[in-house]
Amino acid sequence: MKEQKKISWGILGPGNIAGQFVKDLVHAEGAQVVAVGSRTKANAERFAEKHGIPRAYGSYEELALDNEVEIIYVATPHPAHKDNVMTCLRAGKAVLCEKPFTMSANEARELTAYAEANKLFLMEAMWTRYLPTIRKVREWLSAGKIGEVRLLKADAGFRSDWNPEGRLLNPKLGGGALLDIGIYPISFASMIFGQAPAKIVSAVHLGETGVDEQFAVTFQYPNGSIANLNGSIRLQVQSDAYLYGTEGYIFIPNFLSARTATLFVAGGEPEIFADHNVAHGFAYEAEEAMQALREGRTASEILTPEETLQIMKTVDAIRAEWGLRYPFE
């Protein structure tokens, strides 16, 4: 088999998820991490040592200016995404930015426009999309196995510790269920129905710190199909998805990090797809980004910047219904 051209990664914001991402990059063919950038030199050095990364910078700007780095993975809290991604794009780098892509559609529009004008690769790290199980589900759908999807039920939630200063509950760090975990079922609905909802109805519980700890939202599409979605950062929710079609249904347990999916077609035996890969699953999004770079593309065809922007518009609309605004807005 032909060896893939190596792609050099930089890591921006060496925290919790960046550590997991770097561990998974080992499983992405042709990926090499050459530098890390932190707000503090000590943190960059600690991360670099732990993961065997050659260069450690005490600022994000220095990382962006590293000549060997081709693509930067942005893994800071969401309110920082817009500025951090812009720092990388201005330095001419390709970017893979953690979910949610930005805090608002306006921010997403600004980044997308800059990347497009400068012919730079830009992609949201919505890793669920690139998992083999989810690719299989899309295959089943496009083959019409369950007919027309009329109902999607998808929930996502986990019980975070009570830490009002932490990223999840702190409004200054863009806390709340919608942007952190709710983005998964919302992006999933966008993938399934391929368009923005025509109608949105929602309910929310705003907690002590003022952020949405729990929400429910129903989308209706122009053809009448419905998506029923829940998100929480204070409840251990069974994060499953069910897609009900006119000819059958698909069940995806823990759809965020889907390892299996079962197809039920009326009158037939269930068909089970299982992904036995050992890694966490971040390698697939990295492979997608690298493939695009090798082919000279500026976007992923699986999740385009236009769709990411559309998703952020939906998120804005939900937040507007709740009157949820962040201190920096």
Ligand X SMILES: NC(=O)c1ccc[n+]([C@@H]2O[C@H](COP(=O)([O-])OP(=O)(O)OC[C@H]3O[C@@H](n4cnc5c(N)ncnc54)[C@H](OP(=O)(O)O)[C@@H]3O)[C@@H](O)[C@H]2O)c1
Q: Using the rule CB under 6 A, which residue among 7, 9, 11, 13 binds ligand X?
A: 13
Q: Using the rule CB under 6 A, which residue among 39, 50, 159, 205 binds ligand X?
A: 39
Residue 297 binds ligand X (CB under 6 A): no
Q: Where in 102-131 is the site for ligand X (CB under 6 A)?
A: 125, 127
| Number of other residues whose CB lies within 10 A of the CB of residue 16 | 10
Catalytic site residue 153? no
Smallest CA-to-CA distance from 121 within 86, 98, 89 is with 89
DSSP state of 104: S
Applying CB under 6 A, which part among 13-21, 186-194, 197-205, 213-221 lies near ligand X?
13-21
Applying CB under 6 A, which part among 7-15, 155-163, 238-246, 319-327 lies near ligand X?
7-15
Residue 211 binds ligand X (CB under 6 A): no
Q: Using the rule CB under 6 A, which residue among 8, 17, 23, 158 binds ligand X?
A: 17
| Residue 173: φ, ψ to 5° | -105, 20
Applying CB under 6 A, which part among 37-45, 107-115, 242-250, 293-301 lies near ligand X?
37-45
Rounded Cα–Cα distance for residues 241 and 215 (Å): 16
Rounded Cα–Cα distance for residues 155 and 121 (Å): 31
Q: Which strand (E) or helix (H) includes residue 263? A: strand 260-265
Residue 113: HSE in the Cβ half-sphere, 13 Å Cα cutoff: 6
CB 282 → ligand X: shortest distance, Å? 7
Residue 38 binds ligand X (CB under 6 A): yes
CB closer to ligand X, 169 vs 189: 169
CA dihedral over 182, 74, 190, 242, signed as positive or negative: negative
260-265, strands of its sheet edge to edge: 199-206, 212-220, 226-232, 149-157, 241-245, 248-252, 260-265, 271-274
CB 46 → ligand X: shortest distance, Å? 9
Residue 232 binds ligand X (CB under 6 A): no
Site string for ligand X, 125-164 (x = CB under 6 A): x-x-------------------------------------
Give yes or no for a contact between 156 and 233, defined as CB atoms under 8 angstroms apart. Answer: no
Smallest CA-to-CA distance from 31 within 70, 79, 1 is with 70
Applying CB under 6 A, which part among 71-79, 244-252, 291-299, 303-311 lies near ligand X?
71-79
Residue 99 binds ligand X (CB under 6 A): yes
CA dihedral over 21, 23, 28, 31, signed as positive or negative: positive
Q: Using the rule CB under 6 A, which residue among 77, 182, 197, 207 binds ligand X?
A: 77
Applying CB under 6 A, which part among 73-81, 147-155, 212-220, 239-247 lies near ligand X?
73-81
Residue 262: HSE in the Cβ half-sphere, 13 Å Cα cutoff: 9
Q: Using the rule CB under 6 A, which residue among 24, 62, 66, 180 binds ligand X?
A: 180
- Give the residue numbers marked as catalytic: 99
Chain contacts with ligand X (rule: CB under 6 A): 13-17, 38-40, 43, 75-78, 80, 98-99, 125, 127, 167, 173, 180
